[in-house]
Chain A
Amino acid sequence: MYRYDEFDHTFVKARVAEFRDQVDRRLAGEITEDQFKPLRLMNGVYLQLHAYMLRIAIPYGTLSSRQLRMLAHIARTYDKGYGHFTTRQNIQFNWPALSDIPAILDDLASVEMHAIQTSGNCIRNVTADHFAGAAADEVADPRPYAEILRQWSSVHPEFSFLPRKFKIAVTGADHDRAAIQTHDIGLHLKKSEKGELGFAVYVGGGQGRTPMVAKKIRDFLPEQDLLSYCTAILRVYNLHGRRDNKYKARIKILVHETGTEELTRQVEAEFAALKESDLKLPEADIRAIEAYFTPPALPERAEGWAGVAAARKADAGFDAWLRRNVVAHRHPDYASLTISLKGIGEVPGDASDEQMDAIADIVERYAFDELRVSHEQNLVLPHVARADLKAVYDALVDIGLATANAGLVTDIIACPGLDYCALANARSIPVAQEISTRFGSQARQEEIGDLKIKISGCINACGHHHVGHIGILGVEKKGAELYQITLGGSGDENTSIGEIVGRGFGPSEITDAIETIVETYLANRTDQSETFLDAYRRLGAAPFKEALYGSEAKAA
């Protein structure tokens, strides 16, 4: 993985010292809250309902055991013994004191981490496929490019005060696990007919109150033009993006109002001027960054095949876990696996300090010291020998993290919602817990098959509800929580925005409504191979409306 060089160390240390001084001056009353707020946000510090919240960047979701142990240490020392992994592959701590945050940032800097640009109207943490560098279907590892973008975008003088926040995601496989079409810029790493690496470039995707699927504005951008082209996009956005209305300030609105064709023309014109500038990436520089991501040497471990076959026969839990949480690795003796942070009835994305420490031990011992955070709020071990899968599974059972539900109905994304968040209108986590408990039976979940439920506690859509196969949006109506359901959303290579199915449901009705939808799917699917999403796309909303609202739906 990427290691800080002298410049990076000096830069992050200087930033911590600067923020320590800003915090000291704020606590001494030398600067006002209005002056301080943008400064703290640039360092990932929010104020929520109960306390401050610190959001720490995990570039493209990649962590070492040493970094994970430091996160455990922070949870234990400065917070309340747990952290929350987010849909931007980051981690949040919900209870730090402002006065402790400089010390936390010092600790983070000691393991090459920081919280810079995890908030504010700047380029946020660049995300990537959580199976990057390991997936059997990958063209190339997207993370070197994500790292190049990270370096380029960190305190970029021209792009630190954009009209609004800006999110970039990169995938290196045709099957998009990074949801690139819901990003401000989505990059699909691919090979040209000549075998050269480059990107299909998507612009203007996003969720929030105006969800939009990104538009492809380039079918193939050579890799050396990555920064000049992204600069061209950002420059057009910075110049023309709306600053008069926060809700219309994302690039998706600019793309929509300008038109894809005209926006593409503007970007291409800017790109033509930049193409041969200093932004052109020298081949040697790309390969130098790529070298940091050289996959671990994977010795032949063919004995794993027989071992796994015997172990799964003897242990039904292990068998289910293999079915759901283990995916193909490009090396046949290895696998990538998902550590579900979605235990039945548990809080999606939360991990305790003890769990983080125990996972760090597993990562070090069995996973070549590499861990990923997925945007689905799970953890991923990208490289594990099949021969070690049973040992890893047993270790996960010991810490309560062996739930075999990756991609199933209980693998729910949920934002923190009204239990923590100052922006939320309704709770998300308790809704996720209740649905998870209702569908907790392993047999029932597997019978239902792949189904992504995503829950947001307000229209900002941090829980990605627009692209949930079943999306749930919490709103406040007449002082009470109300949950709107959308159906048919998807955040992959066939991205679609879910459609509102009808009137909302109260907190005591929402789980029943979800069950009605699931039962309707089961009753109408052609067979078990037709997933919920496929069935919805074939059937449309009508049978679901009928099941949920009956005669009311007919009258409407």
Chain B
Amino acid sequence: MKILTANRLTDGEAVWLAADHSWAETIDLAEIARDKAAEEKLECTGRAAFLKNEVVDVALVDIELADGAIRPLRLRERIRAAGPTFRSDVGKQARPAVPHAA
């Protein structure tokens, strides 16, 4: 399973492509691609957003579902989704209801 991530051009905020083709600021809203065709669809939408200068550094991310919640397989992506692991007052985890990366 994969989701599509990027950083927003204006402020660099880590974002994920949601089902409605908006860029969500939290990973839980990401649309999950469960097969190759869905991945290509995500990538295609991401490429269009890159060309429209909405986002940069667009990339697919491998994930699993843990108790129904999206969990990236790589620590790097878990840190992007939450924030630095040594302080919880910055990054997404400083918002309500975003779990820490590690």
Contacts and interface: CB of A to CB of B under 8 A. Distances in A.
A480 B10 CA distance: 32
A51 interface: yes
Contacts, number: 70
Given A98-B11, A479-B73, A347 B86 contact: yes
Interface stretch (A5-13, A152-160, A369-377, A427-435): A427-435
A481 B9 contact: no
Interface string A35-52: 000000000000111111
A80 interface: yes
A427 B78 CA distance: 12
A433 B87 CA distance: 12
Contacts of B84: 50, 419-420, 429
Interface string A9-31: 00000000000000000110100
Interface of A: 26-27, 29, 32-33, 47-52, 80, 95, 97-99, 347, 418-420, 424, 427, 429-430, 433, 479-481
Q: Which of A52, A95, A419 has the most CB of B within 10 A?
A: A419
Interface residues of B, number: 25
Interface of B: 7, 9-14, 50, 52-53, 56-57, 73-76, 79-80, 83-87, 90-91
A33 B11 contact: no
22 contacts: A33-B50, A47-B7, A47-B12, A48-B12, A49-B14, A49-B79, A49-B80, A50-B14, A50-B83, A51-B12, A52-B11, A80-B90, A98-B12, A99-B10, A347-B86, A418-B76, A418-B79, A419-B79, A419-B86, A420-B84, A479-B73, A481-B75
A51 B83 CA distance: 10
A516 B80 CA distance: 34
A29 B52 contact: yes
A347 B57 CA distance: 28
A42 B84 CA distance: 26
A184 B18 CA distance: 47
Contacts of A95: 90
Contacts of B73: 479
Contacts of A27: 9-10, 53
Q: Which of B10, B52, B80 has the most CB of A within 10 A?
A: B10
Given A80-B90, A347-B86, A418-B76, A50 B12 contact: yes
Contacts of B75: 418, 427, 479-481
Contact of A430 (B56, B74, B86, B91): B86
Contacts of B56: 33, 47
Contacts of B86: 347, 419, 429-430, 433
B50 to A, nearest CB: 7
A49 B11 contact: no
B9 A98 contact: yes
Q: Which of A50, A95, A480 has the most CB of B within 10 A?
A: A50
